[in-house]
Amino acid sequence: MAPRSKSQEVPSLETPMLAFARSVQITEGVFHGTRGAGNDRLRVPVEILEKGVRGQSSEDNAKNAGKSNPQVVEFAAVPQGCDGIELSFSVRVLPGALRPHACDKAEVVRAYEKLAKAYAVRGGFRRLAELYTWNIANGRFAWRNRYQTDTAEIRVEDSDGRKMAFNPLHDKLRNLESPAGIDAMIAAMSHGNRESLEAFIDRFAAALAASESPLTFSVMWAAAMQPGQEIFPSQEYVRDDAKLENVSRIYAKLPALHGGRIIQQASMHSQKIGAALRHIDIWHGNSSYGAIAVNPYGGVQETSDVLRSKETKRSFYDLRRKPEELFAALETTEREIPGDIHFLMANLVRGGVFGSAKGE
């Protein structure tokens, strides 16, 4: 490739003020207990309740090691009279990655617009849409609840009228470390076919790329569980100065009307669902990990590993310091889009503040 002339130089992708709006907007998830089907189907909100427990002080260097440690915790369980649980939420897909939401330099705005357009033309958004769909089909967003049952189904219905269902426990979807392709997702479908799945992924990608209107769809995880069996909503992080007196575990909840009274319904934070769906970074290069959640430095909260640290030179910020390489790779149609570009664009889909540090 001939060197670029002065007038063809690629503008920088760095600037002190830069933010992208989130492209995949997710509602709070809510839990319902269920029983039966059709007109006789029972569906009731799962209520967050409190209980007192008597444990033992067992942490390292405990003040009263081995002694009784009474505490109050919140809990959620399958309501009596129910034999199943549903976790439901909705998603709206928007073209937030096509241009910055806020930026202090017009030339940087144009550079990101050019990058996103080139990525869309090469079909990059379809790859991201496929990976997001994989995490919907496998039920990763149910987190610990996924392992509380041997029978489950994922139901998806979009604003275009498509309806699909998947068995998230199918052998083809059980491995959350390695993305299943289209064929594997089709094998796990209990309702729908290749045409509907391909159309859904295409529509998802088109919404990200603004080639069609935004896409809205609902997702439900339905699982067989026993009455009284514990379920796991999001757990709240509460500052020490705001903790409720004597309550050591607090779950996420939303007000709901049930039986003529307002109850606290068990919920899953949209951020936690979003973290599950964006477990699509399969390009980090660390053989000890499979797919991890997309974030600029490749942090893994469960182990505190950072797979894209400054030392690796593969963080979001390291990659965007080489705009010439990014644009050149997208202009080269003879090979597939490099994983580093998928990763960089996935961060823009995720959204956030990406301004450069002062002095850089």
In this predicted structure, what is the pLDDT of residue 4? 53
> CA–CA separation, 147 vs 282, rounded Å?
23
What pLDDT digit, counting tens, does each position of 29-74 carry?
999 999 998 888 999 999 999 988 777 776 777 677 777 777 788 9
- Please give the residue that has the higher pLDDT: either 237 or 329: 329
For residue 358, name the pLDDT band (cuts at 50, 70, 90). Answer: low
Domain boundaries, the chain: 14-353
In this predicted structure, what is the pLDDT of residue 1? 46
With pLDDT > 90 as the criterion, what percentage of the chain qualifies? Answer: 81
Residues across the chain: 360
The single residue listed with the structure tokens 């961060």 is: 347
Element (H, E) at 25: strand 24-26
What pLDDT digit, counting tens, does each position of 130-180 carry?
999 999 999 999 999 999 999 999 999 999 999 999 999 999 999 999 999
Q: What is the mean pLDDT of the chain?
A: 92
In this predicted structure, what is the pLDDT of residue 239? 59
| 225 close to 148: Cβ distance less than 8 angstroms | yes
Rg (CA), the chain: 23
Distance of CA 35 to the CA centre of its chain: 29
For residue 350, name the pLDDT band (cuts at 50, 70, 90). Answer: very high
The residues that bridge with 87 in the sheet, in sequence order, are 31, 221
| 13 close to 108: Cβ distance less than 8 angstroms | yes
Measured torsion, CA atoms of residues 59, 61, 65, 71, in degrees rounded to the nearest 10: -40
- Please give the residue that has the higher pLDDT: either 245 or 315: 315
| 144 close to 232: Cβ distance less than 8 angstroms | yes
For residue 351, name the pLDDT band (cuts at 50, 70, 90). Answer: very high
Phi/psi at 146 (5° precision): -60, -30
**Mean pLDDT for the stretch of residues 68-86:** 91
| 48 close to 253: Cβ distance less than 8 angstroms | yes
3-state helix, strand, coil in the chain (%, to 5): 30, 30, 45
In this predicted structure, what is the pLDDT of residue 118? 97
- Name which of 327, 314, 322, 321 is nearest 281 in CA terms: 314
Adjacency order of strands within the sheet including 352-353: 102-103, 18-20, 352-353
- Name which of 348, 346, 308, 327 is nearest 12 in CA terms: 327
In this predicted structure, what is the pLDDT of residue 38? 80
**CA distances to 79, 102, 154, 355 from 316, in Å:** 45, 18, 32, 11
| 262 close to 256: Cβ distance less than 8 angstroms | yes
In this predicted structure, what is the pLDDT of residue 235? 94
**Mean pLDDT for the stretch of residues 306-331:** 95
In this predicted structure, what is the pLDDT of residue 245? 59
| 295 close to 347: Cβ distance less than 8 angstroms | yes
In this predicted structure, what is the pLDDT of residue 359? 43
**Mean pLDDT for the stretch of residues 77-94:** 97
**Mean pLDDT for the stretch of residues 259-275:** 96
Contacts of residue 345, defined as CB under 8 A and 6 or more positions apart, other chains included, come to 97, 115, 116, 119, 124, 125, 128
Q: Is the pLDDT of residue 128 over 50?
A: yes
| 219 close to 154: Cβ distance less than 8 angstroms | yes
Q: Which two tokens stand for residue 315?
A: 């963080």
Q: Is the pLDDT of residue 286 over 90?
A: yes
Q: What is the largest CA-CA distance in the chain?
A: 75
For residue 202, name the pLDDT band (cuts at 50, 70, 90). Answer: very high
What pLDDT digit, counting tens, does each position of 222-250 carry?
999 999 999 999 999 875 554 555 677 89
In this predicted structure, what is the pLDDT of residue 68? 72
For residue 6, name the pLDDT band (cuts at 50, 70, 90). Answer: very low
In this predicted structure, what is the pLDDT of residue 333? 86
**Mean pLDDT for the stretch of residues 21-32:** 98
**Mean pLDDT for the stretch of residues 318-337:** 94
